Amino acid sequence: MRALLQRDLRLALRAGGGFGLGLAFFLMVAVLVPLGVGPEGALLTRIAPGILWLGALLACLLSLDRMFALDFEDGALDLMAVSPLPLEGVVAMKALAHWLVTGLPLALLAPVLGLLLSLAPQGYVWLVTALLVGTPALSLIGGFGAALTVGLKRGGLILSLIVLPMYVPTLIFGAEAVRRGAEGADALVPLMLLAAISLGSAAILPFAAAAALRANLK
């Protein structure tokens, strides 16, 4: 499992697996939104939690179609399916690798971008915490969608249509946690709901994605 994780990390960092692309997209969202809506600080402060979470969500979406596609094209996925490694573990490691090169860097970069959007100072801790808690769900849900569409032509478009509705609860609770934290209100309830989504995704979706991969590899 560790070797598979290291391999996926090397491929992501070497072959443009979304590391730089996701961060660049996140940065562009934070830079362009103030230009589009104007420099009014009160407005930017109000919309900053939702914009930052939406940018992180879309940045994670950019590289999802590569999660299994490259291994499917070169036959490595077939070898993984018949190897002693459980396919559920393979899915979990690929989702973890995706999170390490997208979700984690986005969470660490988010406070810098929060400055561009005039996020309230008390909201920075909640922003980082919410992204660290919620972005694993984005990678796991994305892994399930990637498994459903592996091998399909124009699978990226279908993947987006499948995954985006499933991302909505994470987006809602993540943005709400940051908004409440920025206003000085109690943000523990949406944060706990966000953690529940991530834990539930980790418990269920690797098995669902593995079943989808077995069906597509037959």
218 burial level (CB within 10 Å; 0-12, 13-18, 19+)? exposed
Would residue 46 be called left, alpha or beta, if left means φ above 0 and alpha means ψ between -120 and 50 degrees? alpha
Lowest mean pLDDT among 49-58, 76-85, 121-130: 76-85
Per-residue pLDDT at 14 exceeds 80: no
Higher pLDDT, 14 or 72: 72
Do the Cβ atoms of 104 and 13 come closer than 8 Å?
no
Per-residue pLDDT at 203 exceeds 70: yes
Higher pLDDT, 56 or 15: 56
> Rounded mean pLDDT of 21-39?
84
> Rounded mean pLDDT of 30-55?
87
75 phi and psi, to 5 degrees? 85, 0
Encode pLDDT of 54-65 as tens digits: 999 988 888 787
- Can you count the helices (H) and strands (E) in the chain? 10, 0
Per-residue pLDDT at 17 exceeds 70: no
Give residue 4's pLDDT band: very low, low, confident or very high (50, 70, 90).
Answer: confident
Do the Cβ atoms of 78 and 217 come closer than 8 Å?
yes
CA distance 167 to 46: 22
Owning domain of residue 85: 2-217
Give residue 209's pLDDT band: very low, low, confident or very high (50, 70, 90).
Answer: very high
> Rounded mean pLDDT of 75-103?
87
Predicted local distance difference test score (pLDDT) of residue 158 = 86
CA distance 46 to 179: 8
Higher pLDDT, 38 or 29: 29
Give residue 164's pLDDT band: very low, low, confident or very high (50, 70, 90).
Answer: very high
Give residue 155's pLDDT band: very low, low, confident or very high (50, 70, 90).
Answer: low
Number of domains in the chain: 1
Per-residue pLDDT at 37 exceeds 90: no
- CA–CA distance from 157 to each of 64, 70, 121, 199 (Å)? 11, 17, 38, 27
> N- to C-terminal Cα distance for the chain?
24
Per-residue pLDDT at 16 exceeds 60: no
> Rounded mean pLDDT of 122-134?
95
Per-residue pLDDT at 28 exceeds 80: yes
CA distance 11 to 101: 11
Predicted local distance difference test score (pLDDT) of residue 9 = 78
pTM, two decimals, is 0.90
